[in-house]
Structure 1
């Protein structure tokens, strides 16, 4: 895709440099924003700007998070999408038309949006996470370690990963991809939207170079009732869920729901069992003038086995001989599954409020909060009986051969913030908004070591009488962030022309303090502190034009960045310097077509990324960030879906991606320069394709989907690769007629990996070369760690079936 959104050239005719393109984008967004406030140039909203009209999307009189608004109003531009403004990137409305059985929704936003709707979610297994639901979107390659929804997974999107994306629930930052199951139960999901190349200027997002994935929560029912479902499946899976609806309480306009689920299963690879308990709670209040308030609260408690991820040699041994790489059932083995587990409690809360004020003014505020606490246990080797720093409570050496546990203890993982925004209707064409975002994020971690219990299990890092061995290392890392944003949205030519110009400026103060101290008293001793103050300008300009009732074109250009997370910075307690922020300049050109039979959506994209940050997998759910220079990503996404014809609704999508490494990379482990310039970028498959088919007849429904991912590089040097692979899912079910108090009795079967394929779906992280020594693989025998070379991999779980019965009441 050689042409650019800004086809300007220097006098000598060569393309603009990265800095020139960024300066041009900033200038255009700034000029457009200024002109918008004076002359009415800005982006239009799909929502009405009548201050007394019902809320739609986020433009005009919108909520701080339209996806939390859940209004029933239909937008002025009936084409669809939850909002027309750039900020609408994750918003939606309930009247949106969909195809392919809900695998694609019709959109009108001036940037790429890819959405799965409630119709599709209802056909999938109740154990599905948001990641499971977006596997067949064209820009997404999703890798999951289990099929029971006990864990999350990883994402590859347009050459970037989930660590470059903003993952949200109702427009608030939520758990990382590998812990996404902490956020919400699938029964309480109304839709999941992905904006792969864009992030609204007013969203509280830090790492948004890869776009936004937003999960929209259940709208409380107007009537008292609820629903219940029970599931049972392979790997001894059992799951129970119940949701109770209050209906409108009196005549207050307040309505809410409460749900609880309990899930249990065993590991599909190796020994071990997993347990999850989850609560969701939602409350909603609407006023006649369009104001509204919404609250969503979730609590999650998990106790699961930390999977081992094999090297290439270990994977091929499993594939060819059946010898697994999972945890051991032998309590005397240091790889015993009870010595490899995660215990975690998480609370998440978001409470957006939208207030319609007089004089064409609106005010939005969205506070959010999340807090997590827990610990991981992993094999710590064996005591040799001679090390003076390995002692028991009496000060003598621990007996040789005693199994040890290395802990990752996180006393606090806290994120608190708020977005405040004031909106003003300049005239019937223009809506100007500006606001402020604040966030404080901190993690407190330590790494004690202890002997295992008599049963061979990890006893917990703070258990009474636990024998602590050696010095304890720890760190406190985090950041405080302040951001100002402004944007103008306009509609012209009978709402056909939509323009959005915005600018966001982020100021961040990051810190990392490491310490080592007395392991008996767990008190800090010597410490080392680092701080880093950064600023980032984030311009954005989007334009769309509705050619006629069936055709739309759009262009979008913006700057986005990624700052290392507080957890990432925790790995900087060594001599490593704090990394520079990653910055991306992105352009997108799109076309949409729809009629009563078919929907088509195509987007061309071009990314230039500086200071690309990737994570090296360190084993046991831990990663170490590193910078690998510059990358370029160019390609296109294409989606097509049909509406129901004799009960059949087809869907297909494809992405072509040409992603290259634009710089050589210094390998500090081997003190060599990797000549990677011009090679295929790591973890960026060139081709991904999907096909789905939904069939409904009276009460019967079925959905089948196939996903293909092409070959990809899994080392920076491009000397280790994995081949392409295919995954598949199938859903079958029947809706029975209501009887008694059972309003929607339903039975369904959900299958994954129907063919039982043994394939690697992606790398766990980055490595410099395929010959890098990998010491984070399977612990074997009773006293040693297996080793290998190159990367570690996620493997597609074996064939799985889940049967469910459900009903509303």
Structure 2
């Protein structure tokens, strides 16, 4: 451990001179032109100014085309656009990661961005946690081809996790807009930024791709894609793909399985207009890792987990439940008595099931030389399950435990539409977005058998009828946003931008069923809430002076609509009891979170070096937080308005390419985000004033070395995540950690003229995750955070993992 820290520190010090910025870091224009292959080891960014929503300069178009073709292969690809500091990462960067990796994890290579998960690919949606400059994933607007993906929460009623929306191999590029955000993003949650995923277009030439990965813990990832090529002289074309990902859990038992079908059709109309359709079907069946507390970690060990998939699993869970209730025959597994709460350390099982259907149509019409129209029509249906075997309730069979399963059925649909007009160096856009979603969600109790008298429920298979409804809610929401913006170029090297957006959301919840003996409340929340902001301004400027220098600033006001989440499942007023909901509403607690964002930066860009310095400041108001205690199967959960938060931060960086093929990248990020007031909860004053916000570190450091020689490239990456507050008062903290990864690739190139016939672009990859096998805490607060002290609400990261991949094109 000591040697590993010395090695990481030494590497960080020797490379710190090469930090690459906020990831707006610069664009290696000359290098981009000289590095045409996606296996190149140098950092190749793109650049350009987005002049208006749906419009971009010729330089930006060339840059995006280069990314789509895979010419870039860096951790940071910078592109500055006038309505927010934007970074673009292409498929080449995604391809460097382990196949099937969550695209948000790829974005975490950028300064100020953090992604946490308990598995090396980031496929476990329960454990996904994404931050960008102090903003959590439910405060960031996310879209796929203009289709809103909602707030990215596990129990989200208005969205879809990125891994369930598209296979990572089908992403053409990603745009991350930092800090001030973008007013044209279809979102009710973008307080401080936006992430736009863009699916790749079908190829003009018929062909196919195969990706096959093998790895640790019986990992097996398969991806097939077939492209039709142009079907006619107009260029009509489509692709269809299938992805399958299966991996045994690295601790405990059970596996994590998902499969996905994507399809896209593009129909050009004339020379400049087009219609495209996108379809996604996803099936996820995941046994989850057990949530941990510090008591469990210290007294139960790093590898403690649920019983499913281990010898005598049901018998151990059964006898543990008997011991909880003081019944004859009860006993705890060896070593469990050391923990203060051994009965919640391991349940029989915990799992996630999800089925998603997503479809969208993009319409792009160039009406005149100056006027164009873009619209998106979409629909999404989701069925899910979140299950835990609870020892706190007995089954009708007489078994001392039940299977409790939360089942949501969600349907949502909507459209966006925007007009873009160019006149006299002004690029004007205006548009609207409307969405309706409906969710029917309930928690149900299922009978488990007496030990030795039958098999326990398979939560991933067909379910019997439940014997009780523990609680059930129905929620409906209508969201509307409108925006207008003007980007003005008084000089070729100066861009001025002004815009604003308006937001209106109404949401209603109905309490349909409630078992008071289980929930502990007379009724779960029902009622309506409205979020309305008529004028949310945004101004920015971007000045390219001299040959390699750039200055920019952004200022904006944003709002996040009041969250819509079911009973005890998040920081939402609908997560409360009826009495708590009414009290919060009467005391004026149902206020939407707002903020003012300020950002300023400098960038130097050349072929051999890119330097960037980026600073930001945010003033938050009315932050809602989930505060929990008790057991995680039925927690004591409240939602508190913790008042205002003040955040300031800075990123600095430099990317160096001293010799051909060698790239050295480093970044360092500092974030000071503190609560401005103490919090009074249930009559107790908690001293949160001046404490760093929970779950996000003050300091992060990242470096990467990559080298390319002919058809071979290798990269080594290091990430430092500083200390994080686990409790709101800061009396419980998660220690810092270093994490290293290593990757190598050899590309055979085009083999179509060899004995392999039609095979081309064959590539062998090898990746090692967590190279030094460090033990660390990854996801935090997935069950909410405590005001002070310990709570069962974090997950630990995976140990060292190995992956080998074969890729081939046809």
2:99 paired with 1:126: yes
2:136 paired with 1:161: yes
Q: Per-residue displacement from partner, 1:637-669 (whole Å, max 9, x unpaired)?
A: 22322347331112111111111110111223x
**Greater CA deviation, 683-692 or 283-292?**
283-292
Question: Counterpart in 1 of 2:436?
Answer: 440
CA separation of 1:754 and 1:81: change in aligned 2, threshold 3 A:
farther
Question: Counterpart in 2 of 1:658?
Answer: 672
SS in 2 for 1:102: coil
Match of 1:251 among 208, 233, 242: 233
Matches within 5 A, 1:686-701: 686-701=698-713
Match of 1:209 among 181, 185, 191: 191
Match of 2:124 among 151, 166, 174: 151
2:441 paired with 1:458: no
TM-score normalized by structure 2? 0.80
Question: Counterpart in 1 of 2:741?
Answer: 729
Matches within 5 A, 1:769-784: 769-771=787-789
CA separation of 1:565 and 1:517: change in aligned 2, threshold 3 A:
closer
SS in 2 for 1:757: coil
On the 8 A contact 2:165/2:280 being kept in 1, the answer is yes
On the 8 A contact 2:619/2:644 being kept in 1, the answer is yes
Question: Counterpart in 2 of 1:634?
Answer: 648
CA separation of 1:273 and 1:713: change in aligned 2, threshold 3 A:
same
- Distance of 2:105 and 2:543 partners within structure 1: 33
- Distance of 2:600 and 2:65 partners within structure 1: 24
Matches within 5 A, 1:582-731: 582-616=593-627, 619=632, 625-643=639-657, 645-668=659-682, 671-731=683-743
Structure 2: gaps of 5 or more residues: 1-47, 155-160, 319-345, 517-521, 752-756
CA separation of 1:585 and 1:231: change in aligned 2, threshold 3 A:
same
- Distance of 2:466 and 2:162 partners within structure 1: 34
On the 8 A contact 1:118/1:191 being kept in 2, the answer is yes
On the 8 A contact 2:726/2:781 being kept in 1, the answer is no
Question: Counterpart in 2 of 1:473?
Answer: 471
On the 8 A contact 1:235/1:266 being kept in 2, the answer is yes
On the 8 A contact 1:99/1:598 being kept in 2, the answer is no
Question: Counterpart in 1 of 2:785?
Answer: 767
CA separation of 1:251 and 1:602: change in aligned 2, threshold 3 A:
same
2:77 paired with 1:105: yes
SS in 2 for 1:316: helix
Q: Per-residue displacement from partner, 1:128-162 (whole Å, max 9, x unpaired)?
A: 11122122211111101111443241023322311
On the 8 A contact 1:240/1:261 being kept in 2, the answer is yes
CA separation of 1:727 and 1:456: change in aligned 2, threshold 3 A:
farther
2:798 paired with 1:797: yes
- Distance of 2:579 and 2:542 partners within structure 1: 49
CA apart distance, 1:557: 0.5
CA apart distance, 1:459: 4.9
CA apart distance, 1:260: 0.0
Match of 2:66 among 94, 113, 116: 94
On the 8 A contact 1:667/1:768 being kept in 2, the answer is no
On the 8 A contact 1:103/1:115 being kept in 2, the answer is no
- Distance of 1:155 and 1:460 partners within structure 2: 28
Question: Counterpart in 2 of 1:751?
Answer: 768
- Distance of 1:635 and 1:366 partners within structure 2: 36
CA apart distance, 1:715: 1.3
Q: Per-residue displacement from partner, 1:292-348 (whole Å, max 9, x unpaired)?
A: 2232221110111122121012123355xx552344421234488874212110122
Question: Counterpart in 2 of 1:32?
Answer: none
CA apart distance, 1:681: 2.3
CA RMSD of aligned residues (A): 2.9
CA apart distance, 1:423: 2.0
Q: How many residues align?
A: 692
CA apart distance, 1:808: 0.6
CA apart distance, 1:245: 0.3
- Distance of 1:655 and 1:763 partners within structure 2: 20
CA apart distance, 1:463: 5.7
Question: Counterpart in 2 of 1:371?
Answer: 381
Structure 1: gaps of 5 or more residues: 1-55, 67-73, 84-91, 385-389, 391-397, 520-524, 772-788
Question: Counterpart in 1 of 2:15?
Answer: none
CA separation of 1:448 and 1:434: change in aligned 2, threshold 3 A:
same
CA separation of 1:517 and 1:581: change in aligned 2, threshold 3 A:
closer
2:364 paired with 1:354: yes
2:87 paired with 1:114: yes
2:207 paired with 1:225: yes
CA apart distance, 1:436: 1.6
Q: Per-residue displacement from partner, 1:483-531 (whole Å, max 9, x unpaired)?
A: 22111111121x2111111111111111111121699xxxxx9886311
CA separation of 1:375 and 1:243: change in aligned 2, threshold 3 A:
same
**Greater CA deviation, 160-169 or 449-458?**
449-458
SS in 1 for 2:576: helix
Match of 1:566 among 561, 564, 567: 564
CA separation of 1:196 and 1:116: change in aligned 2, threshold 3 A:
same
Question: Counterpart in 2 of 1:332?
Answer: 315
TM-score normalized by structure 1? 0.80
Match of 1:422 among 419, 438, 444: 419
2:404 paired with 1:400: no
CA separation of 1:803 and 1:616: change in aligned 2, threshold 3 A:
farther
Q: Per-residue displacement from partner, 1:151-176 (whole Å, max 9, x unpaired)?
A: 24102332231121123222322262
On the 8 A contact 1:272/1:337 being kept in 2, the answer is no
Question: Counterpart in 2 of 1:342?
Answer: 352
- Distance of 1:518 and 1:337 partners within structure 2: 22
- Distance of 2:162 and 2:633 partners within structure 1: 17
CA separation of 1:276 and 1:580: change in aligned 2, threshold 3 A:
same
- Distance of 1:190 and 1:327 partners within structure 2: 41
On the 8 A contact 2:611/2:655 being kept in 1, the answer is yes
**Greater CA deviation, 213-222 or 176-185?**
176-185
- Distance of 2:633 and 2:708 partners within structure 1: 44
CA separation of 1:762 and 1:95: change in aligned 2, threshold 3 A:
closer
- Distance of 2:192 and 2:526 partners within structure 1: 31
SS in 1 for 2:526: strand
On the 8 A contact 2:49/2:79 being kept in 1, the answer is no
On the 8 A contact 2:523/2:577 being kept in 1, the answer is no
